[in-house]
């Protein structure tokens, strides 16, 4: 747990109500940027190819409640950046960040700071162009207790879904001048670990809460989806791995999540059994751990463990990797698997195997997007992948004005009919639809709202 952030939330943030899964526990203002500031920053960074900027934005950190699979509660942290325009309702885009193991490098802490380019870039580009962008820190990072369950599917679903629920409580808590409204569009996107987290959350949502959180489109990028196949084969076939701490993190946290850290000495060489809990306590960087790791990360295992892992598909680690392989299901959401063909960290085959598996399973709207090998490796293609996802999101995006009750971004007879049903028949409407129908901002639907929408349509 990041004690400094936890104390900051307790002392300086604002605590909200009693905690239930998905509830907003606390929040803290992180900063704002005017549209002109954003445009200047993007022009400096990208020159004539810079993305546009339409809206000024604000960013908040939030603490929220989840219920873990074992029934116990945990408080997680994350952040939200949103555009300024009280007359519009915007889509929600959940961005899942790439690998970090430092508690103080998560979105809820770095916020709009340039020290975390990944987060500030997504925040200012997406939110200034009409997306309410949410950033989960993930379980075990930020203020959450325990070790981060790295590349384990279910915790990502819990982090993403409950953050989306929690931020919907934020507008009623903050200054009305800083408030925002969402419509019924939801996008998921993320790169590397975030790509895995995105596909894991998509799978979890589609299997459990799709009626509550329908996804407009999903953009998993460069994630290790085929853990038990592509990734195991890759690790066993190469003598060196550019980011050895990734492998150590997977093995360590899988043992923590599915077994017990008391058994570290049954799998790892003595020095590593003693050291891993310290290295992954949230205070050591990946580069720091890489400096200590052997070039072949599997060399931290006992020789007999490596032999069994190589030969036995029922070995503990092979079983946990298989359980978290994101194949053998059929996405129903429009899904774009985006990956660099020259990826030296997470092989392109992960996306190719997932694409083939989904298509053969009957998926109707899955697209494999390959970024040319000439663009570089895992780090170099991150920005091209993210820009492709962002530009494709814009093709789907609907920004809803007052009166747009059906959420298609336009005023039409259908919106008028829905409001008539609400007024005459007491038809139940959701939070967005209620906001959209309340043209005069008096907190209710009336003949005045109906007249105003009718005139706007005409």
Per residue in 155-187, pLDDT (tens digit) is: 999 999 999 999 999 999 998 878 899 999 999
Length of the chain: 458
**In the prediction, which pLDDT does 14 show?**
58
Average the pLDDT over 132-137 and give the result.
Answer: 99
* Token pair belonging to 181: 């409204």
Question: H or E segment at 32?
Answer: strand 24-33
Tokens of 43: 């022009």
Structure tokens at 445: 């639907």
Burial of 332 per CB tally in 10 Å (0-12, 13-18, 19+): middle
For the chain, give the mean pLDDT: 94
The CA radius of gyration of the chain, in Å to the nearest whole number, is 23
pLDDT tops 70 at residue 201:
yes
Per-residue pLDDT band at 223 (split at 50, 70, 90): very high
pLDDT of residue 458: 77
pLDDT tens digit sequence for 237-248: 987 899 999 999
Cα 439 vs. chain centroid, distance in angstroms? 33
Q: Looking at residues 361-374, what average pLDDT do you find? A: 98
**CA pair distance 427, 431, nearest whole angstrom:** 13
Place 19 in a pLDDT band, splitting at 50, 70 and 90. Answer: low
Q: What is the mean pLDDT of residues 74-84?
A: 97
Task: Assign 432 a pLDDT band (cuts: 50, 70, 90).
Answer: very high
Question: Which CATH code is given to the segment(s) 406-457?
Answer: 1.10.1330
What's the pLDDT band for 15 if we cut at 50, 70, 90?
A: low
Per the DSSP assignment, residues forming a β-bridge with 113 are none
pLDDT grade for 12, boundaries at 50, 70 and 90: very low
Whether pLDDT at 265 is above 50: yes
Per DSSP, helices labelled H in 66-192 are 107-110, 117-127, 153-167
Residue owning tokens 């959450």:
144
Task: State the span(s) of the chain assigned CATH 3.40.50.1820.
Answer: 3-226+329-396
Q: In 3D, which of 182, 199, 170, 157 has the Cα closest to residue 60?
A: 170
| Whole-angstrom distance, CA of residue 185 vs CA of residue 396 | 9
Reference 169, options 18, 33, 6; nearest CA is: 18
Residue 89 has pLDDT above 70, yes or no: yes
What is the pLDDT at residue 176? Answer: 81
Cα–Cα distance for residue pair 57/52, rounded to 1 Å? 14
The answer to whether the beta carbons of residues 5 and 24 sit under 8 Å apart is no
pTM of this prediction? 0.95
Percent of the chain topping pLDDT 70: 96
**CB neighbours of 213 closer than 8 A, spacing ≥ 6?**
161, 164, 186, 205
Q: pLDDT at position 17, please?
A: 52
Please say whether the beta carbons of 202 and 186 come within 8 A. no
Write the pLDDT tens digit of every residue in 314-357.
Answer: 999 999 999 999 999 999 999 999 999 999 999 999 999 999 99
Integer angstrom CA distances of residue 450 from 280, 402, 414, 429, 454: 58, 12, 12, 15, 6
Where, residue-wise, is CATH 1.10.1330 in the chain? 406-457
Confidence of residue 16 (pLDDT cuts 50, 70, 90): low
Is residue 339 within 8 Å of residue 191, measured between CB atoms?
A: no
DSSP for residue 279 = H
Query: pLDDT (tens digit, 9 = 90+) per residue, 389-424?
Result: 999 999 999 999 999 999 999 999 999 999 998 888
Helix 244-258 × helix 316-323 angle, to 10°: 90
CATH 1.10.260.160 segments of the chain: 238-323
122 and 133 Cβ atoms separated by less than 8 Å: yes
Domain 238-323 has CATH 1.10.260.160: yes
pLDDT of 143 above 60: yes
User: Is residue 126 scored above 80 in pLDDT?
Assistant: yes
Q: Would you identify the CATH topology of the domain 3-226+329-396?
A: Rossmann fold (3.40.50)
How many angstroms separate the CA atoms of 403 and 419, rounded?
9
Cα distance between residue 99 and residue 378, in whole Å = 12
Q: Is 167 exposed, middle or buried (0-12, 13-18, 19+ CB in 10 A)?
A: buried
Confidence at residue 11, expressed as pLDDT on a 0 to 100 scale: 46
């Amino acid at each position: 747990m990041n004690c400094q952030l936890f104390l900051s939330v307790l002392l300086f943030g604002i605590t909200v109500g009693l905690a239930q899964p998905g509830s907003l526990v606390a929040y803290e203002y992180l900063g704002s940027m005017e549209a002109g500031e954003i445009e200047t920053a993007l022009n400096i960074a990208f020159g004539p190819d810079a993305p546009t900027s339409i809206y000024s934005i604000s960013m908040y950190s939030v603490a929220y409640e989840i219920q873990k699979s074992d029934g116990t509660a945990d408080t997680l942290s994350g952040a939200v950046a949103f555009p300024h325009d009280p007359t519009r309702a915007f889509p929600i885009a959940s961005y899942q960040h790439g690998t970090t193991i430092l508690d103080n490098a998560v979105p809820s802490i770095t916020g709009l700071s340039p020290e975390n380019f990944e987060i500030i870039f997504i925040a200012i580009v997406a939110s200034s162009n009409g997306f309410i962008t949410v950033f989960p820190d993930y379980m075990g990072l930020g203020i959450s207790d325990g070790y981060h369950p790295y590349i384990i599917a279910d915790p990502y679903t819990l982090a993403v879904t409950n953050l989306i629920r929690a931020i919907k409580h934020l507008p009623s808590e903050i200054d009305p001048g800083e408030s925002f409204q969402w419509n019924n569009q939801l996008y998921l996107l993320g790169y590397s670990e975030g790509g895995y987290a995105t596909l894991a959350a998509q799978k979890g949502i589609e299997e459990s809460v799709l009626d509550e959180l329908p996804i407009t489109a999903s953009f998993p990028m460069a994630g290790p989806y085929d853990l038990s196949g592509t990734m195991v084969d890759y690790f066993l076939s190469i003598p060196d791995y550019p980011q050895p701490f990734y492998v150590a993190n997977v093995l360590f946290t899988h043992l923590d999540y599915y077994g017990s850290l008391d058994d570290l000495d049954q799998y790892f060489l003595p020095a590593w059994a003693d050291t891993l809990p310290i290295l992954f306590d949230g205070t050591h960087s990946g580069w720091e751990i890489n400096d200590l790791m052997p070039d072949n990360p599997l060399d931290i295992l006992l020789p007999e463990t490596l032999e069994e892992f190589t030969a036995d598909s029922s070995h503990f680690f092979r079983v946990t990797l298989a359980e978290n392989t994101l194949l053998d299901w059929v996405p129903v959401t429009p899904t774009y698997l985006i990956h660099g063909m020259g990826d030296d960290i997470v092989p392109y085959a992960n996306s190719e195997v997932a694409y083939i598996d989904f298509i053969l399973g009957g998926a109707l709207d899955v697209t494999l997007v390959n970024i040319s090998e000439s663009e570089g490796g895992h780090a170099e293609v991150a920005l091209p992948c993210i820009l492709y996802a962002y530009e494709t999101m814009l093709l789907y995006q609907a920004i809803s004005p007052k009166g747009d009750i059906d959420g298609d971004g336009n005023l039409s007879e259908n919106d008028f009919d829905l409001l008539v049903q609400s007024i005459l028949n007491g038809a139940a409407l959701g939070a967005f639809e209620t906001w959209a129908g309340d043209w005069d901002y008096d907190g209710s639907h009336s003949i005045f709202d109906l007249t105003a929408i009718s005139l706007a349509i005409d």
